[in-house]
Amino acid sequence: MSNLLSKIEPHAARLEDAADRLDAAGIGGHPKRGHAAVLRDMAGCMRAEAAQGKMPHIYEGSSLYAAADIRAGLAQIGAIDAAEQNSTRLNSMQVEAVGALRRVGLELDDTGTITLHVLNRALAGKPIDQRMRLKSLCANAGILLEG
Q: Is the pLDDT of residue 82 over 60?
A: no
Which residues does 100 contact at the CB level (< 8 Å), separation at least 6? 69, 133, 134, 137, 138
Average pLDDT, stretch 25-49? Answer: 80
Collapsed DSSP state (helix, strand, coil) of residue 61: coil
Spatial CA neighbour of 97 closest among 127, 63, 120, 74: 74
pLDDT band of residue 6 (cuts 50, 70, 90) is: confident
Task: Name, in order, each residue with C-beta under 8 angstroms of 73's C-beta and a sequence gap of 6 or more.
Answer: 79, 94, 95, 96, 97, 98, 99, 102
**What is the per-residue pLDDT for 69?**
60
95-124: pLDDT as tens digits: 778 878 887 888 888 788 899 999 999 999
Task: Band the pLDDT of 87: cuts 50, 70, 90.
Answer: very low
Strand spans (E) along the chain:
114-115, 144-145
| 48 contacts 61 by C-beta, under 8 angstroms | no
pTM: 0.46
Higher pLDDT, 92 or 116: 116
pLDDT for res 12: 86
pLDDT, average across residues 34-51: 80
Residue 38: per-residue pLDDT: 84
Q: What is the pLDDT of residue 84?
A: 47
